[in-house]
Amino acid sequence: MVKNIFMKHIVIILFLLSTCFIVNIVNAQCRNINSVYWEQINDSIKKETIASKEVNVDVVNYYKGYFRFTDNEKSFQLLDTLISAPKQINIKALYFYLFNKICVKADGAVAEGLGSYCQKVIINDPMYVLKYFSSHNSIMRTYAQLLGYELYFKGKGTSDIEYNFNDFKILIKDKIDNDINLQKTFSDFNNKIEEIMKNMD
* Residue 180 sits in the same domain as residue 81: yes
* Residue 15 sits in the same domain as residue 60: no
Q: Identify the domain containing residue 160 by its residue range.
A: 38-199
Task: Give 90-138 pLDDT, tens digit per residue.
Answer: 999 999 999 999 999 999 988 999 999 999 999 999 999 999 999 999 9
Task: Give 51-67 pLDDT, tens digit per residue.
Answer: 999 999 999 999 999 99
Task: Give 127-175 pLDDT, tens digit per residue.
Answer: 999 999 999 999 999 999 999 999 999 999 999 999 999 999 999 999 9
185 close to 130: Cβ distance less than 8 angstroms: yes
* Residue 17 sits in the same domain as residue 104: no
Task: Give 5-31 pLDDT, tens digit per residue.
Answer: 545 545 455 444 444 333 333 344 334
For the chain, give the number of residues: 201
Residue 136 has φ and ψ, to the nearest 5°, of -140, 75
* Residue 104 sits in the same domain as residue 159: yes
> Nearest CA to 94 among 135, 52, 122?
52
Q: Which alpha helices (DSSP H) does 88-158 contain, by range?
A: 89-105, 108-112, 115-124, 126-133, 137-155
Q: Confidence band (pLDDT; 50, 70, 90) for 4?
A: low
* Residue 11 sits in the same domain as residue 69: no
How many structural domains is the chain composed of? 2
* Residue 187 sits in the same domain as residue 118: yes
* Residue 7 sits in the same domain as residue 93: no
